[in-house]
Structure 1
Amino acid sequence: MKSTIKWTLAAGIAMFSASCSNFLDEKSLTRLDEGQVYSDVNLVETSLKGIYANWKGIRTDEQGLIPMMGTDETQQGALQMKSDASKGGLDRFDGNLNSSQGHITNQWNIRWPMVTEAAKIVKGLGANPVESGSREAKLLGEASFIRGFLDFQLAMYWGEIPISDPDRASEIGGHRQPLKDVWAFIIADLQRAADNCPKTNDPGRATSGAAWMMLGKAYMSAPVSTGLRDFAKAAACFEKMMGDYSLVPYKNLFDYATPNTAEAVLEFQFSPVYPNNNKIQFQIGSRAVQAFFGDGCYYSGYDKLVPTHYAYSSVDSGGVWEPGDQRRFEAIRYDFTYYGEVPNLDPLKWEDLGNDYDELLPHVKKYEDFRTDKHTENKINNMWNSGKNIPVLRLADAKLSYAECLNELNRGAEAIIVVNEVRARAWGGVLPEDKKWKAMSQDAFRTAILDERMRELFAEDWRRIDLIRTGKYVELVKARNKWTKQSGTIQEFNTLFPIPDTEMKLNPDITPADQNPGYR
C-alpha cells in the first residue's frame, strides 16, 4: 500500500507541476522515504482515507458476520452448518476449528495491513511534537484510534499479538508480545487518540468521543493478569464523552432515513449502491423467503447468521425478552408475511434438514434495507444491495459499559439509575415500575447486565468480546448455542481463535510453538 500511494500521488503531483523546469527543480517525489511520506499531511490524508475504506470493509458481506458466529446470541443457519463443515467448526468447536480455518485466517489477515499502515502514520506524524488542534494532530489521533481499535479486537480474539511499532521493529520484530505489553500499547494508542482526535468529524471518522469510549472499553477489558484492568479509569473515560450524545428512539438507530443520529458515536457509512453496499442482508435474510418471493424481497437471504433461541425468545420461554420491550421487534424479525402472502418451506424440503429447519424461525432484522425491495421506486430489486449504516459505537453501549464499571466500583445504586435510563427508552420513554431495575447484589448485576447488553446491542458485533472479557464465553455459548450444545466439544481454550497456519508459515517470528494452547 505504501509504494502504491507514493507512486500514485507522486505521479499526480508531477502532472500538475507548473512547468517542466519547475518540476526538475523539485526533489523527486518518487524517491521520498517513509519518513517524508508519512509526515506530509496531504499524503497521510490520502492514506488514511484508504484505511477507513478498508476498515469498514471488515463489516461487509459474510466476513462481517464471522466474529458473531459461535456466541450465545447468534449462530449459523442449519443449511450452512450442514453444507460447510469447516465454517461449521465456528459453532461446533470441533476439529474443524483449527489453524487452517479460512474464515479465521481472513479475519486475521484483513486487519493487519490497516494496523501496519496506521502505524506508519503514527510514526511519521509523531516524530515531532504536534500542535493541539492542528491538522497533524487530528490525523495522528485518527491513525492512533484505528490502530488501537483493531489491536483491541485482535487481542480479544487471539490474545498475545505482535505489536506494530516501527520505532521498535528491530527489537520486537513480528513476535507475539506479552499481554501486558499489548494492552499497554492499546491503551497508549487510544489515549493519544482521545487527546488529538477532533470533537466533530466527517461521518464515519473517529472523534475524541469515540476515542474516549474505546479507551474506557480497553480499561474494562484488559485481562486481569495484565494489571491494567481499571474500572475507575474506564468510568472516567465514559464520563468524558457521554454528555456529548443523547439517546434517540430505538427504531431511528436502524432506519436508513435517519443515519448518524445524536446517539451515534461512530457509524460505518454505506448505501444501497454498489460498491458502497455492505451485502449484509444478502447473508442473513431468510432462504425460505428467497425461494418463495425471490431476491426482490428485502428480507430474503441465506441464513448465514440467525439468532439463538435464547436471543429471540421471551423470558417465559427461556429467553431474554421481557413483555413490552420495544427493542425486540426492531432487532428481530418473527413474521415473514409479504404483501399478504405467507412463505413456506416446500421449495427447500429437498435439502433434508430433518428437525433443523430454521429458515422461517426468527431472523436478524436490524440490517434489513427496504430500498432493495422490488416494490420500491428505485428498482434495485435485490437484497444483495443492502447498505444501511452499521453502528460501531453508540451512547447506549457507553452507558451500559459505564453502569458495569460503577457496579464493580461498589456504586450499585448509581449503576441501576444509568441502566434504567437505557431501559426507559426501550419502553417508549416511560419505564413501567415493574420493569425498573432495583437494588441487587454485585454478582446479580453482573448477570443481569449481560442480558441487558444482549437486548440493547443484539447483532452489533460486541457479544463475543463481552463474553470473553467477563469470563462467561464457554459457559454461556455451551448453554445457549444450538450447535455448540449438540457437539459438546467446546473447551476453555476455544475462548481464543487459533493463530492462522499461513501466519506461522510466512512470519518467521511466529512458529507452531507459538500457537494458542489446544490448537494444532
Structure 2
Amino acid sequence: MKTTILFILIAAMTLFASCSKFLDVAPESKIPDEAIFENAENLDAYMLGLYKAWRDGHRDRIGMYMGTDEANIGGNQWRDDNAKRGLDMYQEGMNSTNGIALGIWRNRHEVASRAANAITSLSQTESTNSDEFNLRLAEACFLRGVNYFELVQMFGAIPLSGMEGLGESNSSRQPLDVVYKMIEADFVKAEKYLPDPADASYQDLRRATKPLAQAMLGKLYLYAAEESGFRDYEKAAAQFEKVYNNPYYGGTGAPTYSVIFDANSESSAQHQREMVYAFQFSNVSGDQSSIQWDMGSRAVTNMTPVEATALFAGFDGIMPTEYAYEMVSEGGLWEEGDVRREESIRYDFTWNGQTPSMSGYIWGDELDPHIKKFEDPRILEQGLSTYYSGKNVPFIRFSDVVLCYAECLYHIGRQNEGITLINDIVRTRAFGGTLPGTMRWSTDMGEAEFTANLMDERMRELCFEGWRKLDLMRTGLLKNYVEKRNRWVSGMYKQERINPAVSIENFRLLWPIPLDELRQNPNLTDADQNPGY
C-alpha cells in the first residue's frame, strides 16, 4: 500500500487510432514523481494508464458473477477448478489462497494506490490548479473511490491509500465508516470537476464524467453496509435524480434494448444515451475483452472443421442458472413478450446448419442456455475466435440508474412515483415500447413484494453485467436466493439431485483477505483475517 508508483505511460497516442480504445497507450517509463504530476502531458498519460488498469481488471469479471442466483459455472469448470467452485458454492475453495479473489484485490488496490499518488500531489495545489489539472484530480478521485467501493463490498474493512490523517496506519484495515467516508469524499470531489458528457470538451469515452460520479455516489448510499451508517435512501435518490434529469440520457432518443448490445451500434448517439459508462474494447489483439470466450459453449468450440470461429463458442466458464433462463410458467424469471430474454440468453446453438454433438461430455450442460449479451459478430468478418470478442462491457447503464432511483423513491415514501418510473421507462422498453396492462406493476405493492419484483426486474434488465451479487448482499436475499437457485449450492439440476445441498455460512458472505496481503503487509497479521476463515 505504501509503495510509491514510479511508472507512468508517456508516449503519444497513435494518430488515427479510435479515441475510445486503449491500444494507443504506449509502454511505461520510469521518471520522478514531480515530472509526472507537474507536467500536463505526463499527467494525462498517467491517468490513461490508470483507466486502462481499471478496465483490464474488469476484462473478466467472472469472480463477480459467481455465487449468485443469476449465474453458475459450467459442469467441467466445477469439476476442474477449485477456485471457481469455492466462490460459486461458498465452500472450501473460498479461502485466503483463492486466485480469483487475489486478482481482484491486487487490481483494485493497485489502481487505487496509484490514483492516491496523484490525489496527494494535485490536492496540494487544487486552489491554483488549471482546469486541466483539477480535471485530472477529479479522475484520480473517481478511480480511487470506485475501486475501493468494489473492494469494501466484497471484503469488508480494507486498507486505504492516501487518506489525510491516517499516515502510516493507512495500510491497516480501516473501519467501514472510515472507508465509506473516503469513498464519499472522492466521489464528491470527482463530481465537482468532471465534465458533463454533453459538453463539447468531452470526447473520450474511456474517461469518467460528472453523471458517472453522481451515479456512483448514489450507489454508495444505496449499497453501503447498514452498519457503516452510510446507507441513506434520501441522499441516494438525490444523486440518481441528477443523472435521471440529465438530458443526455434516456428520453425520446433512448435506444431499444437490442441496440444496447449491438456491437455495430456502440459508437452511435442512440447507444450512448444508455451508457453512463462502459469499458471500451475492440477486436484487436491486446485490446479485446475475451468475455465471450468464458461465456460460450465448449460443444460449439469443438465442432469441425472451422466452427471454432462460431459466435457462441467458448468454455462454459459462466452460465445462466435455470432460474435465469426459464419462463415464469416454468418457475423461472422471464415473462411472455419480454424482448430482453432473446437478447440476453442463447437457446439455439445451430451453426452453419449444424447442431453440435453432445457425445463425450460428462455433465451434459454444454448446450444448456448460455449467455448471449456479449456475442460479437464482428469476429466473423475477421475469421477470429471468441477469444477476440471485443464488445464494450457496460458498467453503469441509464436503466440501472432508473431502477436504483425508483427503489430509493419507494423507500422514502414516494412509492407511486418509483413504481411508475419502472413501468414507464424500464418495463415499457422491455415489452417493445408498449407495456400490456397485465404487465403493469401495481403502485400499492407492499415492501416485500416490491423488493422481490425489483430484484427480478434488475436481473432481467442487467443480467451478467456484474451487479447481482452486490444487489443480493445489500437486500439480505443472497443466502435465500442462491441456496434455491444456484445448482451447485442447491444440489439440484433439472429437478434431479446432483450434490448435497449447501447451507451458506454467514461469514462467507464476505471474501477472505488474501494470504499474500496478510504475509506481505507489515501492518496486518493473521488476526486481521475476516472471521471464520
- What is the TM-score of this pair, normalised by structure 2? 0.88
The residue identity in structure 1 corresponding to 2:111 is M
Match of residue 25 from structure 2? none
The residue identity in structure 2 corresponding to 1:510 is L
Match of residue 298 from structure 2? 287
Is 1:57 equivalent to 2:60 in the alignment? no
Match of residue 458 from structure 2? 453
RMSD, matched Cα: 1.9
Asked if structure 2 preserves the Cα contact closer than 8 Å seen for 1:282 and 1:301, the reply is: yes
Following superposition, which runs of at least 4 residues in structure 1 exceed 3 angstroms of deviation? Answer: 29-32, 34-37, 130-133, 166-169
Asked if structure 1 preserves the Cα contact closer than 8 Å seen for 2:102 and 2:514, the reply is: yes
Is 1:220 equivalent to 2:222 in the alignment? yes
Quote the Cα distance in structure 1 between the aligned partners of 2:137 and 2:407: 31
- Corresponding residue to 1:314 among 324, 327, 330: 327
Quote the Cα distance in structure 2 between the aligned partners of 1:381 and 1:128: 49
Is 1:433 equivalent to 2:432 in the alignment? no
Task: Kindly tell me the number of residue pairs found equivalent between the two proteins.
Answer: 486
Asked if structure 2 preserves the Cα contact closer than 8 Å seen for 1:412 and 1:442, the reply is: no
Match of residue 416 from structure 2? 413
Match of residue 19 from structure 2? none
Match of residue 91 from structure 1? 88
Is 1:305 equivalent to 2:318 in the alignment? yes
Quote the Cα distance in structure 2 between the aligned partners of 1:367 and 1:230: 34
Asked if structure 2 preserves the Cα contact closer than 8 Å seen for 1:216 and 1:238, the reply is: yes
Quote the Cα distance in structure 2 between the aligned partners of 1:146 and 1:307: 30
Q: CA deviation at 1:36?
A: 5.8
Q: Which range moved further: 432-441 or 253-262?
A: 253-262
Asked if structure 2 preserves the Cα contact closer than 8 Å seen for 1:220 and 1:230, the reply is: yes
The residue identity in structure 2 corresponding to 1:47 is Y
Quote the Cα distance in structure 2 between the aligned partners of 1:218 and 1:86: 29
Match of residue 124 from structure 1? 121
Match of residue 266 from structure 1? 277
Is 1:156 equivalent to 2:153 in the alignment? yes
- Corresponding residue to 1:504 among 497, 508, 518: 518
Is 1:192 equivalent to 2:189 in the alignment? yes
Is 1:100 equivalent to 2:97 in the alignment? yes
Quote the Cα distance in structure 2 between the aligned partners of 1:73 and 1:158: 21
Quote the Cα distance in structure 2 between the aligned partners of 1:94 and 1:441: 35
The residue identity in structure 1 corresponding to 2:329 is D
Match of residue 17 from structure 2? none
The residue identity in structure 1 corresponding to 2:97 is S
- Corresponding residue to 1:343 among 350, 356, 360: 356
The residue identity in structure 1 corresponding to 2:52 is A
Quote the Cα distance in structure 1 between the aligned partners of 2:117 and 2:392: 29
Quote the Cα distance in structure 2 between the aligned partners of 1:394 and 1:122: 27
Give ranges in structure 2 of 5+ residues lacking alignment: 12-28, 492-500
Q: Could you give the per-residue CA deviations for residues 423-460 of structure 1, whole angstroms, max 9, x where no partner exists?
A: 00001111111111112112211111111000000000
Asked if structure 1 preserves the Cα contact closer than 8 Å seen for 2:5 and 2:117, the reply is: no
Is 1:516 equivalent to 2:523 in the alignment? no
Asked if structure 2 preserves the Cα contact closer than 8 Å seen for 1:73 and 1:310, the reply is: yes
Q: CA deviation at 1:243?
A: 2.6
Q: Could you give the per-residue CA deviations for residues 6-28 of structure 1, whole angstroms, max 9, x where no partner exists?
A: 9x68xxxxxxxxxxxxxxxxxxx
Q: Could you give the per-residue CA deviations for residues 205-260 of structure 1, whole angstroms, max 9, x where no partner exists?
A: 10001000010010111111122111111111011122330131111111111115
Q: Could you give the per-residue CA deviations for residues 20-78 of structure 1, whole angstroms, max 9, x where no partner exists?
A: xxxxxxxxx9884x356324332221111001111111122xx4211111111011000
Match of residue 21 from structure 1? none
Quote the Cα distance in structure 2 between the aligned partners of 1:156 and 1:220: 12
Match of residue 323 from structure 1? 336
Quote the Cα distance in structure 1 between the aligned partners of 2:417 and 2:30: 59
Mapping for residues 133-152 of structure 1, pairs under 5 Å: 134-152=131-149
Quote the Cα distance in structure 2 between the aligned partners of 1:85 and 1:129: 48
Asked if structure 2 preserves the Cα contact closer than 8 Å seen for 1:158 and 1:499, the reply is: yes
SS in 2 for 1:257: helix
Mapping for residues 360-399 of structure 1, pairs under 5 Å: 360-373=367-380, 376=381, 378=382, 380-399=383-402
- CA radius of gyration, larger in: 1
Asked if structure 2 preserves the Cα contact closer than 8 Å seen for 1:92 and 1:489, the reply is: no
Quote the Cα distance in structure 2 between the aligned partners of 1:301 and 1:233: 43
Mapping for residues 166-185 of structure 1, pairs under 5 Å: 167-168=164-165, 170-185=167-182
Asked if structure 1 preserves the Cα contact closer than 8 Å seen for 2:73 and 2:84, the reply is: no
Q: CA deviation at 1:5?
A: 2.7
Q: Could you give the per-residue CA deviations for residues 95-151 of structure 1, whole angstroms, max 9, x where no partner exists?
A: 121101111111111111110111111111111234698111211111111111111
Quote the Cα distance in structure 2 between the aligned partners of 1:452 and 1:131: 47
Give ranges in structure 1 of 5+ residues lacking alignment: 10-28
Match of residue 107 from structure 2? 110
Is 1:79 equivalent to 2:83 in the alignment? no
Is 1:256 equivalent to 2:263 in the alignment? yes
SS in 2 for 1:238: helix
The residue identity in structure 2 corresponding to 1:469 is R
**Closer, same or farther: CA 39–88 of 1 in aligned 2, 3 Å:** same
Quote the Cα distance in structure 2 between the aligned partners of 1:321 and 1:212: 31
SS in 1 for 2:309: coil
Q: Could you give the per-residue CA deviations for residues 249-285 of structure 1, whole angstroms, max 9, x where no partner exists?
A: 1111111111152111111111111111111111110
Asked if structure 2 preserves the Cα contact closer than 8 Å seen for 1:284 and 1:364, the reply is: yes
The residue identity in structure 2 corresponding to 1:154 is L
**Closer, same or farther: CA 415–31 of 1 in aligned 2, 3 Å:** closer
Q: CA deviation at 1:371?
A: 1.5
- Corresponding residue to 1:488 among 474, 497, 502: 502
Q: Could you give the per-residue CA deviations for residues 352-391 of structure 1, whole angstroms, max 9, x where no partner exists?
A: 33xxx21101100000011222xx3x3x331111000111
Asked if structure 1 preserves the Cα contact closer than 8 Å seen for 2:66 and 2:88, the reply is: yes
Asked if structure 2 preserves the Cα contact closer than 8 Å seen for 1:36 and 1:124, the reply is: no
Q: Identity, % of aligned pairs? A: 38
SS in 2 for 1:211: helix
Match of residue 23 from structure 2? none
Match of residue 42 from structure 1? 41
The residue identity in structure 1 corresponding to 2:261 is F
Q: CA deviation at 1:83?
A: 1.3
SS in 2 for 1:292: coil
Match of residue 18 from structure 1? none
Quote the Cα distance in structure 2 between the aligned partners of 1:167 and 1:42: 27
**Closer, same or farther: CA 448–132 of 1 in aligned 2, 3 Å:** farther
SS in 1 for 2:109: helix
Match of residue 24 from structure 2? none
Asked if structure 2 preserves the Cα contact closer than 8 Å seen for 1:105 and 1:500, the reply is: yes
